[in-house]
A and B are shown apart, each in its own frame.
Chain A
Amino acid sequence: MGQVSITYTLVVPSETRQLAQVRNFVTKHARQANVAEEHIDALRLAIDEACANVIEHAYQGNPEKEVHLAMTIEPTRIIVRIRDHGCPFDRTAYRRPDVRELSRKRKSGGLGVDIIRRLMDKVEYHNQEGTNEIRFVRFRQSRQDGFR
């Protein structure tokens, strides 16, 4: 594998129908770089969740906007950056969701951020001059937690 680091980038319109393309992009490049399938499953889901949040919340369904994705594959870890210019995610209002409570309240949303946090080893949010960025990292060692 060597010590090289490769970054793949993708820009898609802010539409939910683009999510399949995003997932195919992640799977294709991660497989080409020999990333283990358990990591690919986790990355594909976390990236889908982050992009869906941008499309639905940051851009509130405006298809004129764009979602920017960069995935860097390093020998020991994969780093993902997803950038938008919409409404920033309010971290102060976030609390870990409870599926039972959400079900009782008949809510369909609120699980995406939790999925990202459970699957990734590190999650950071940045907001600068109208640009929001979520960055997350998954280490490539084998693991018992998260996805088998």
Chain B
Amino acid sequence: MSNFSVAFRNADAATILSVCGELDAHTAPELESAIKKCRDEGKINLIINGHDLDYISSAGLGVFMAFIEEIRTLGGDIKICALKSKIFDVFDLLGFPKIYHIVETEEEALSLFERGIQPIQGD
């Protein structure tokens, strides 16, 4: 049985993917499928809500790397919110905050889309 799940919710400005459990090399394909599903349905403004995410390894981080370029080319973005501090530490360890909007609340992430804030382009 998988110890990971994704739930979808639509807001006006974005689709919210609430991730729950442990994201590792075994469960990362589930997040990959979820993002692909959104993309195929034309939903390209995506918020990953990590409030209930208890663990992430490089396989989980890899899902974001695999899709961000394509989603941004289509005019959307993936924004990440509500991470527990130990999960944020893993993103931070590898420099993800320089490339991805990682904010504290879902409201903040929605606001970035509502205000048309451009994705972080980096250096």
Give A residues with C-beta under 8 Å from B. Answer: 16-17, 19-20, 23, 41, 44-45, 48-49, 52, 55-56, 99-100, 102-112, 114-115, 118-119, 146-148
Confirm or deny: B66 has a beta carbon within 8 angstroms of a beta carbon on chain A: yes
Partner of A52, one of B25, B55, B61: B25
| With A52-B24, A148-B85 as contacts: A100 and B93 at CB distance below 8 Å | no
Taking CB atoms, residues of chain B closer than 8 Å to A103 are: 64-65, 68-69, 99
17 pairs, CB–CB < 8 Å, chain A vs chain B: A17-B26, A23-B22, A41-B86, A41-B89, A52-B24, A52-B59, A99-B94, A99-B96, A100-B122, A100-B123, A103-B69, A107-B62, A109-B58, A115-B58, A115-B90, A115-B93, A147-B86
Pair B24/A16 contact, Cβ less than 8 Å: yes
Pair B99/A108 contact, Cβ less than 8 Å: no
Confirm or deny: B114 has a beta carbon within 8 angstroms of a beta carbon on chain A: no
Pair B58/A111 contact, Cβ less than 8 Å: yes
Interface of B is mostly: helix
Nearest CB of chain B from residue A30's CB, rounded to whole Å: 15
Task: Kindly state the separation between the CA atoms of A45 and B90 in the bound complex, as whole angstroms.
Answer: 9
Partner of B70, one of A106, A112, A146: A106
Nearest CB of chain B from residue A1's CB, rounded to whole Å: 24
Taking CB atoms, residues of chain A closer than 8 Å to B61 are: 111
* Contact flags B86-109 to A (C-beta < 8 A → 1, else 0): 100110011110110000000000
| With A45-B57, A48-B57, A52-B57 as contacts: A108 and B63 at CB distance below 8 Å | yes
Partner of B69, one of A104, A115, A119, A148: A104
